[in-house]
């Protein structure tokens, strides 16, 4: 059990800090949340800056520990988030790197690293959420193309994306073909005819997601990654990738916010309430432990050659709940002020409600833990 970083890791951290201190003051002004083209330009420009400085590959090539350091230091320095580059860097990119042909890797990976192209994700459907494998968007072969019809939902950055990593059904479900076996992974160009994007307004008032309607969209067959009907396995490569270090920056941010909540309470007199102090004290223990659990999981991934372990589900279950608790405590400290959406914490309180739902609801995560980690019989 060693929590000290190696000389090499410390050198990486020091170099990154120094570079961030020089690079961040040169950032342009942040675009407004509703300015999608502006957000895309801002996020991709940041990725280009990282790329030029040699940090563009960090999500792919760096060791798990270096990735942890990168996410920790960029959050502490207040650097931009991965934003519009998320799917390209953390979902589609790793999938193509692992499952794509040399030609596919050469075509799609460099533009993601340089911040030239943005990807979105077409996985979930209105009737396929937690039960993703039941998706019904159909694709049939027509010469050297697939023709795709159906609809996708919860697609972030669909308005500004160049590519969509799309899961489609190429073989209908039957007694001989279970639902996981008839799915294919396609890279769909977002400027193809037949695509309609409709923004979805979240309960926080923002339009973070969109519905994507597909009406006989033609996708070249060479855009298929992996074999036809093997898309479920191809996708699982991607999904396991996001578990290891996905929330590093957020845990760092939560610990900072907790300190700010304590400062606010000291200022407005609520600190005299021992119940509130104890609530915040417990949250401090919670986020400290979540940070250590992250280091534990990263070390495990490092030992296993980069493969994230089962710790991801354990972490997500606890973290998503802790984040909601954090913003409930913030609301207690703000009192009536928590009703003012002008306060950052009020908006963050609203968005925290998605954490126990997105990327696998807590209920699904518990079933995964019960069956895959604890070895309990298949649930019903």
- Site map 252..271 versus another protein, x via CB under 8 A: ------xx--x---------
Supply the minimum distance, in Å, between the C-beta of residue 183 and another protein.
Answer: 25
Both tokens assigned to 205: 């008032």
Min CB(184)–another protein separation in Å: 31
Within a 10 A sphere around the Cβ of 146, how many other Cβ atoms? Answer: 24
Round the CA-based radius of gyration of the chain to a whole number and report it.
22
Q: Which is nearer to another protein, 143 or 269 (CB)?
A: 269
In whole angstroms, what is the distance from residue 138 CA to residue 147 CA? 8
Nearer Cβ to another protein (128/298): 298
Instruction: Report the residue from 246, 314, 329, 330 that binds another protein according to the rule CB under 8 A.
Output: 314
Query: Minimum CB separation from another protein for residue 237, in Å?
Result: 24
Nearer CB in complex with another protein: 216/371: 371
Query: Which residue stretch of 37-45, 216-224, 276-284, 335-343 sits at the interface with another protein (rule: CB under 8 A)?
Result: 276-284
Per the structure block, which two tokens stand in for 90?
């953390």
Q: Are strands 163-169 and 119-122 parallel, antiparallel or unpaired?
A: parallel
Minimum distance from CB of 259 to another protein (Å)? 6
CA distance to 70, 99, 182, per residue, from 58 (Å):
8, 19, 34
Separation between Cα atoms, residue 246 and residue 294, nearest integer Å:
10
Q: Say whether residue 101 binds another protein (CB under 8 A).
A: no
What is the distance between the alpha carbons of residues 114 and 44, in angstroms, rounded to a whole number? Answer: 8
Nearer to another protein, 3 or 203 (CB): 3
CA distance 68 to 306: 12
Contact region with another protein (CB under 8 A), list: 140-148, 192-200, 229-237, 369-377: 369-377
Reported as type and span, the H/E element at residue 24 is none
| Nearest distance in Å: CB 257, another protein | 11
Residue 325 touching another protein (CB under 8 A):
no
Give the nearest distance from C-beta 319 to another protein in angstroms: 10
225 counts as binding another protein under rule CB under 8 A: no
- For 377, the token pair is 């019989």
x/- track of binding to another protein for residues 48-77 (CB under 8 A):
-----------------x--x---------
The sign of the dihedral angle between the CA atoms of 353, 359, 360, 365 is: negative
In the residue annotation, 242 being an active-site residue is answered as yes
Tokens of 123: 């996985």
- The residues near 6 (Cβ < 8 Å, ≥ 6 apart) are none
State the minimum distance, in angstroms, from the CB of residue 102 to another protein.
34
Binding mask 281-310 for another protein (x = CB under 8 A): xx-xxx-xxx-xx-xx-xxx-xx-------
Exactly one of 211, 228, 242, 250 is catalytic; which is it? 242
Cα 124–Cα 235–Cα 150 angle in degrees, nearest 5:
35
Q: How many CB atoms lie within 10 A of CB 291?
A: 16
Pick from 222, 339, 358, 373 the residue near another protein by CB under 8 A: 373
CB of 261 to another protein, least distance (A): 8
Distance from C-alpha of 71 to C-alpha of 257, rounded to nearest angstrom? 17
Q: Which residue has the tokens 């953390």?
A: 90
367 binds another protein (CB under 8 A): yes
Indicate the SS3 state at residue 347. helix
Helix axes 36-52, 102-114, angle to 10 degrees: 100
Site for another protein in 2-41 (CB under 8 A): 2-6, 9
CA distance 205 to 101: 41
Q: Would you count residue 360 as binding another protein (CB under 8 A)?
A: no
What part of residues 174-213 is at the interface with another protein (CB under 8 A)?
none
| Residues classed as catalytic | 242
Q: Which residues bind another protein (CB under 8 A)?
A: 1-6, 9, 65, 68, 258-259, 262, 274, 277-282, 284-286, 288-290, 292-293, 295-296, 298-300, 302-303, 311, 314, 317-318, 363, 365-367, 369-371, 373-380
């Amino acid at each position: 059990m060693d929590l000290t970083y190696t000389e090499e890791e410390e050198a990486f951290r020091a170099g990154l800090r120094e570079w961030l201190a020089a690079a961040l003051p040169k950032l342009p002004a942040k675009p407004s949340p509703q300015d999608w083209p502006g957000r895309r330009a801002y996020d991709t420009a940041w990725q280009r800056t990282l790329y030029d400085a040699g940090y563009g590959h960090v999500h792919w090539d760096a060791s798990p520990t270096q990735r942890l350091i990168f996410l920790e230091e960029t959050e502490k320095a207040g650097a931009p988030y991965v934003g519009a580059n998320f799917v390209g860097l953390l979902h589609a990119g790793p999938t193509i790197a692992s499952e794509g042909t040399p030609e596919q890797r050469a075509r799609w990976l460099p533009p993601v690293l340089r911040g030239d192209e943005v990807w979105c994700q077409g996985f979930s459907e209105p009737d396929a959420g937690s039960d993703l494998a039941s998706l019904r968007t159909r694709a049939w072969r027509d010469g050297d193309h697939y023709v795709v019809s159906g609809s996708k939902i919860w697609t972030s950055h669909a308005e500004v994306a160049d590519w969509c990593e799309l899961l489609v059904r190429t073989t209908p479900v039957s007694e001989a073909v279970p639902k996981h076996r008839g799915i294919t992974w396609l890279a769909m160009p977002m400027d193809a005819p037949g695509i309609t994007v409709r923004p979805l307004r979240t309960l926080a008032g923002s339009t973070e997601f969109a519905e994507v309607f597909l009406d006989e969209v033609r996708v070249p067959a060479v855009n298929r990654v992996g074999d036809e009907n093997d898309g479920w396995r191809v996708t699982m490569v991607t999904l396991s990738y996001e578990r290891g270090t996905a929330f590093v920056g957020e845990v760092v941010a939560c610990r900072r916010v907790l300190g700010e909540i304590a400062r606010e309470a000291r200022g407005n007199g609520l600190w005299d309430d021992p119940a509130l102090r104890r609530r915040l004290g417990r949250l401090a223990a919670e986020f400290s432990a979540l940070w250590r659990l992250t280091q534990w999981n990263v070390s495990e991934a490092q030992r296993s050659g980069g493969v994230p372990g089962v710790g991801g589900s354990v972490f997500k279950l606890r973290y998503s709940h802790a984040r909601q608790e954090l913003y409930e405590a913030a609301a207690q400290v703000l009192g009536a002020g928590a009703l003012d959406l002008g306060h950052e914490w009020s908006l963050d309180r609203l968005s925290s409600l998605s954490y126990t739902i997105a990327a696998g609801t807590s209920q699904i995560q518990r079933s995964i833990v019960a069956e895959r980690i604890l070895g309990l019989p298949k649930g019903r």
